[in-house]
Amino acid sequence: MLLQLVRARAPRVRTIATASGDDAVRWVRGLGAAETVDHRSGDLGEQVLALAPDGVRWVFTSHSAGQVETYARVVAPFGAVVAIDDGPRDVAPLKERSIAWHWEFMFTDPLHAPRSTRQGAILDAVADLVDAGVVRPTVTTTLGPLAVDTLREAHRLVETGHVTGKVVVAGWPD
């Protein structure tokens, strides 16, 4: 989704996405990535710096565990990292370059600013982009109905680490 949002709202921003395999490379390029690096082979930092020798301004990550040193190498001074995963992180390696670390949590507004309408406005803006055909869902696999075996299969697919797009479990048993 992020690649599509960047393409829609900041089309001059050159994005580099991680992808492993030809299908995944085609997938992320179709979503808006200008370049790709393979997170399964070679040094990720070297691959990024080969494409952006001066570093990148921003990193968005859903898998930051064990990656802070790499981010310290590839993010340009005064850049930023946005992480959506969980767990403690030692971000001290980012200090020398004044790289900011931001956590994103979709429930912060409802939990801490329940009167805020910001979350609704964001969702409305994304819905408008979907309605206009600018952003499309990233679902590639739909399983159903909602049952223990279906959930096990969805979990198994995601655990392989080789799913392109999102897996959705939908529908109630008859």
pTM of the model: 0.88
76 and 149 fall within a common domain: no
Look at residue 161 in the predicted model and tell me its pLDDT: 85
124 and 144 fall within a common domain: no
Domain span at residue 147 reads 138-174
51-97 per-position pLDDT tens digit: 999 999 999 999 999 999 999 999 999 999 999 999 999 999 999 99
143 and 124 fall within a common domain: no
Average pLDDT over residues 17-39: 95
Average per-residue pLDDT in the chain?
Answer: 95
64 and 117 fall within a common domain: yes
Crossing angle of the two packed helices 2-9 and 22-31, in degrees rounded to 10: 40
Total domains present in the chain:
2
117 and 34 fall within a common domain: yes
Look at residue 174 in the predicted model and tell me its pLDDT: 87
39 and 94 fall within a common domain: yes
102 and 149 fall within a common domain: no
User: What is d(CA 49, CA 55) in angstroms, rounded to the nearest whole number?
Assistant: 6
131 and 144 fall within a common domain: no
